[in-house]
Amino acid sequence: MGKWLGISRLTENDFLDFFPRGKIKFPINYQTRFPMTAQRLVKIRESLSPAEKRFERRRHTAGLYLGPLAALILLLYPMPQLTSAAHRLAGIIGWIVIWWITEPIPIPMSALLGAVLCVLFGIAPARQVFAPFADPTIYLFLGSFILAEGMAVHGLHKRFAWSLMSLPWVGSSPARILLVYGGVSAAISMWISNTATAAMMLPIGLGIISASGGGEQLNRFSTGLLLMVAYASSTGGIGTPVGTPPNLIGLAMLEKFAGIKISFFQWMLFALPLLVVMYAMLYCILYLMHRPDHPQESLPKTIALQQNQVPFSRGERNALIAFLVTVLLWILPGLATLIGGPASALAKILNDRLPEAAAALIGASLLFILPINWPQRHFTLSWKQAAHIDWGTLVLFGGGIALGQLMFETKLAESIGTGLLNWSGASSTWSVTLAAIYIAILVSETTSNTASANMVVPVMISLCLSAQINPIPPALGATLGASWGFMLPVSTPPNAIVYGSGLVPITKMIRAGILFDLLGGAIIWLGLRILLPLIGLA
């Protein structure tokens, strides 16, 4: 996936974004003292080798033809248990899923094509098919993306990262550097995309490696440090509903298809403890697998971090105000319900009139209202800047909800879910949850986490409804599992970014990724099994 991230080569200018001349001083001249390290850090190789590029071309070309071919085979194959509309929809779903996996065209465009095909094949009228593209969750995405863009434009997230990395307690201990570096990545990823987090944190990690000299004794630690930013950037996304698109997809589908609404506050009640446990496991795995040859030795002082001493700019203050207001509005209905009970007048008003989408748009609007320079009418964010957000995710989400809704209405999802139930032998809520987690993890290894959630979550909800079991644990298990693909560079954008640095051998990524996939799936299941009953969701 690195090819479509627009990050094919990291140059010295990318370092200077994080180490400005005159503000941050390198304690060593890494270009002359460590020429091999400098060559690998400043002149990073392209993210895909020639062999990998050939494989990608073949994958795209094969998928281009396999998608329509799969649709034709499914349409011709007799499926008497399905209605005519469900049979036609099965062909379309087969086509789009193959295109999501092989990416012959951009994934968001595949989602749009799927909706168009549903109209052309008479599965539902256009007004019904395209209605999910205006789902309120789309606007929750939109508001949170704009907030993240405002933080990025003014460097608020970088200030946060530098402030924590420069704490005296961190010092030059490899263990503490790894702990805080990953913790910062996870904390930032709770609020902005995992891709943006990894892209921001990677140069900081490279700076640490460069300043440490990059000798043989630190090779393992360097690999662990970079794997940490990839994995922590994805792990942190589970902490809040807006941390990663699958979270909002799972919540929206539960509300739409099962009539179950989980608030921002309720999500954090189970997700934050789960995140802490997952991060502790991640830290232990990466440190034990990649600790320095002499872990008792300290790394050299990396960088004289002085950026946190620079006063807050007006733009940073405004972005922080908008962010804090939004977070307060997100958790306020949950707090009112917790304090006064769901029947209290305040809780009812806030839950009815302050949905998460409205709160996100209020916060985003503040960025266009709070001025940086009032006489010149210069505000915190311009529309030109805001337009840089990831519109593709909005389109992909709308397309996924549209296909999921049609799968429910035609009972195709119920048929698929029953087949999976019979195949897996799962019959209880928690056995279905375990199957849902690992199915989502497996799918996410071959396609984006958003596409994985769009594929797996509606099937699991339908399976649970038809089997008359609680759909919340399996749906949440599939939602969290969709973010848990760590084995390959194509599994997540953070993996692709880190692999593109040229400093992480693919064998090391696969080794750590398999272990984290297996243990992570088990911890997700155990965490949901313990936490959901405590907050009344199971």
Element (H, E) at 137: helix 136-154
What pLDDT was estimated at residue 195? 74
What distance in Å separates the CA atoms of residue 410 and residue 415, rounded to the nearest whole number? 10
SS3 167: coil
| pLDDT tier for residue 100 given thresholds of 50, 70 and 90 | confident
Tell me the pLDDT tens digit for each residue of 352-363: 888 888 988 999
What distance in Å separates the CA atoms of residue 311 and residue 96, rounded to the nearest whole number? 50
What pLDDT was estimated at residue 29? 33
Q: Is residue 30 part of a domain?
A: no
What distance in Å separates the CA atoms of residue 43 and residue 262, rounded to the nearest whole number? 47
Tell me the pLDDT tens digit for each residue of 267-301: 999 999 999 999 999 999 998 888 776 555 555 44
What distance in Å separates the CA atoms of residue 297 and residue 291, rounded to the nearest whole number? 11
If you search the block for the tokens 């690195």, which residue do you land on? 2
| pLDDT tier for residue 91 given thresholds of 50, 70 and 90 | very high
> Are the C-beta atoms of residues 87 and 131 closer than 8 Å to each other?
no
Q: Is residue 280 part of a domain?
A: no
> Are the C-beta atoms of residues 362 and 139 closer than 8 Å to each other?
no
Alpha-carbon Rg for the chain, nearest whole angstrom, is 24
SS3 373: strand
Q: How many CA atoms lie within 13 A of 320 on its CB side?
A: 12
Q: Which residues pair with 373 in a beta bridge?
A: 378
Q: Is residue 110 part of a domain?
A: yes
Q: Is residue 93 part of a domain?
A: yes
Q: How many domains does the chain have?
A: 1
Here the tokens at position 467 are: 């089997």
Least confident of 118-132, 252-266, 291-305, 473-487: 291-305
Q: Is residue 75 part of a domain?
A: yes
Residue at 197: amino acid letter:
T
What pLDDT was estimated at residue 455? 82
Interior/surface letters 220-231, b for 16+ CB within 10 angstroms, e for the rest: ebbbbbbbbbbb
What pLDDT was estimated at residue 278? 93
Percent of the chain with pLDDT over 70: 82
Query: In the predicted model, is pLDDT for residue 131 greater than 50?
Result: yes
What distance in Å separates the CA atoms of residue 5 and residue 197, rounded to the nearest whole number? 13
Phi-psi region at 536: left, alpha or beta (left = phi > 0; alpha = psi -120 to 50): left
| pLDDT tier for residue 306 given thresholds of 50, 70 and 90 | very low
How much is the average pLDDT of 211-231? 73
What pLDDT was estimated at residue 15? 37
How much is the average pLDDT of 234-263? 89
What distance in Å separates the CA atoms of residue 203 and residue 180, rounded to the nearest whole number? 15
What pLDDT was estimated at residue 186? 92
What distance in Å separates the CA atoms of residue 239 and residue 446, rounded to the nearest whole number? 24
Least confident of 27-41, 177-191, 365-379: 27-41
What pLDDT was estimated at residue 84? 92
What pLDDT was estimated at residue 14? 38
Interior/surface letters 355-378, b for 16+ CB within 10 angstroms, e for the rest: bbbebbbebbebbbebebeeeeee
If you search the block for the tokens 């994805």, which residue do you land on? 234
Query: In the predicted model, is pLDDT for residue 159 greater than 80?
Result: no
What pLDDT was estimated at residue 59? 85
How much is the average pLDDT of 512-527? 92
**Which residue segment(s) compose the domain that 69 sits in?**
53-123
How much is the average pLDDT of 323-338? 85
State the sign of the Cα–Cα–Cα–Cα dihedral 348, 532, 516, 250.
negative
Q: Is residue 57 part of a domain?
A: yes
The candidate with the shortest Cα–Cα distance to 433, out of 415, 456, 404, 405, is: 456
What distance in Å separates the CA atoms of residue 499 and residue 227, rounded to the nearest whole number? 9
The candidate with the shortest Cα–Cα distance to 528, out of 256, 337, 331, 273, is: 273
Mean pLDDT score of the chain: 80
What distance in Å separates the CA atoms of residue 478 and residue 458, rounded to the nearest whole number? 9
Q: Is residue 67 part of a domain?
A: yes
Query: In the predicted model, is pLDDT for residue 25 greater than 80?
Result: no
Tell me the pLDDT tens digit for each residue of 34-67: 333 333 333 333 445 677 678 878 888 999 999 9
The residues, any chain, with a CB within 8 Å of residue 288's CB and separated by 6 or more, are none
> Are the C-beta atoms of residues 386 and 56 closer than 8 Å to each other?
no
Three-class secondary structure assignment of 225-281: HHHHHHHHHHHHHHHCCCCCHHHHHHHHHHHHHHCCCCCHHHHHHHHHHHHHHHHHH
Q: Is residue 119 part of a domain?
A: yes
What distance in Å separates the CA atoms of residue 429 and residue 435, rounded to the nearest whole number? 10
Tell me the pLDDT tens digit for each residue of 378-412: 999 999 999 988 788 788 878 888 888 898 888 88
What pLDDT was estimated at residue 76? 93
304 backbone dihedrals φ, ψ, rounded to 5°:
-75, 90
- Whether the full predicted model's pTM is greater than 0.95, yes or no, is no
Element (H, E) at 319: helix 314-340
Least confident of 82-86, 347-351, 470-474, 520-524: 347-351
Q: Which residue has the higher pLDDT, 302 or 168?
A: 168
What pLDDT was estimated at residue 418? 75
SS3 122: coil
Element (H, E) at 372: strand 371-373
What pLDDT was estimated at residue 248? 86
> Are the C-beta atoms of residues 184 and 212 closer than 8 Å to each other?
no
Q: Which residue has the higher pLDDT, 440 or 192?
A: 440
